Amino acid sequence: MTTIPLGPGSEFDAIRRLLDRWGDLARGVGDDAAVLSVPRGDALVASVDSAIEGQHFRAEWLSPTEIGYRAVAAALSDLAAMAAVPRGVLIALGVPAAWRDRLDEIADGIGEAVNGSGTRVLGGNLSAAGELSITTTVLGSVFVPLMRRGAKPGDRVYVTGQLGGAAAALAEFSAGRSGGAHRHRLAHPIPRIAEARWLADAGATAAIDISDGLAADARHLATASGIALSLESTKLPLVAGVDANLGVLSGEEYELLVTAPHALDVGEFEARFRLPLTEIGKAVAGGAGDVTIVGMPHIQIAGYDHFVG
């Protein structure tokens, strides 16, 4: 570990414990700010995402390690949506007294997500708080970012993976059960970093990650691109036991919705990533932002809204 010496004090002791836990995953931590070189010619891509107890997760549903993993994996998914390569993360933790002795487990989950995307912890902030919060800043780089706004009329629409697992698991938890068959989809989403690079190299024109649900995120992409999307409910790749309605509303999937002007080599994608890639519809001109799902005329496209209620 190339961290520099920290001063004394119990806050610094807690930071040291985190750094020990992360080992080589944490590098250069300890100055006022992290220093990082961006490959020449690349643009820097940066995003921040918060996971707050009671809003984004419930402590009785997930383990501390899963809570840490999921917070950071969700943030890294925003880099995947831009087809960026992760260059490091900053972790701001708000830790209530009752959570202090679970900090090692939270750190393990954070480390797992960081390691899984081949990146590292560059710095962070540790503070006492009234509720547990994990705010992750992800830094990545890419020569040509894949944006939401690049879709053109006529483009084909694809989605990675299978949909509905996160919502199915949430429904199980909400009914007082332990998450059911798809618990892992909620607890352990995988940012599609390498998949996104493949898709960009294959000519994808626009992308978004599915954090608000396919229907809502399709609308974000369509709005940004100034096009409409026509999707087909029968083509949706759904996990076992989930209907299309739940599948298109299921948030926190962290799969990618992409558009491409030509057919993508689905076989090569699936062989390489052992993950489905499914063509589910088309971009069409006019009605900017409209999303039609053939076979589901009455779908309400709202996504998850933190400010409702």
Residues 85-104 that bind its own copies (CB under 8 A): 88, 90-92, 94, 100
Between 96 and 241, name the residue whose CB sits nearer to its own copies.
Answer: 96
- What residues from 109 to 128 belong to the interface with its own copies (CB under 8 A)? 122-128
Binding of its own copies by 300 (CB under 8 A):
no
Helices 64-81, 103-116: axis angle to 10 degrees equals: 30
Contact between residue 207 and residue 81 where contact means Cβ atoms under 8 Å apart:
yes
**How far apart (Å, rounded) are the C-alpha atoms in residues 202 and 265?**
8
The single-letter DSSP state of residue 40 is T
With contacts defined by CB under 8 A, name the span among 50-58, 186-194, 261-269, 270-278 that binds its own copies: 50-58
Closest distance of CB 100 from its own copies, Å: 8
Using rule CB under 8 A, residue 13 touches its own copies: yes
Which one among 1, 16, 21, 44 touches its own copies, defined by CB under 8 A? 44
Please give the structure tokens belonging to residue 196: 């996104």
Q: Can residue 286 be called a binding residue for its own copies (CB under 8 A)?
A: no
Q: List the one residue from 2, 24, 35, 297 that touches its own copies (CB under 8 A).
A: 35
Please check whether residue 77 is in contact with residue 119, taking contact to mean a CB–CB distance below 8 angstroms.
no
CB of 189 to its own copies, least distance (A): 15
Under DSSP, the state recorded for 288 is T
Segment near its own copies (CB under 8 A), from 74-82, 154-162, 197-205, 236-244?
74-82
Contact flag: residue 149 with its own copies (CB under 8 A): yes
Of 137-145, 161-169, 173-181, 236-244, the window that binds its own copies (rule: CB under 8 A) is 137-145
- 63 and 57 in contact (C-beta within 8 Å)? no
Paired with 86 in beta bridges are: 140
Phi, psi at 155, each rounded to 5°: -60, 145
Answer whether 28's CB lies under 8 Å from 35's CB.
Answer: yes
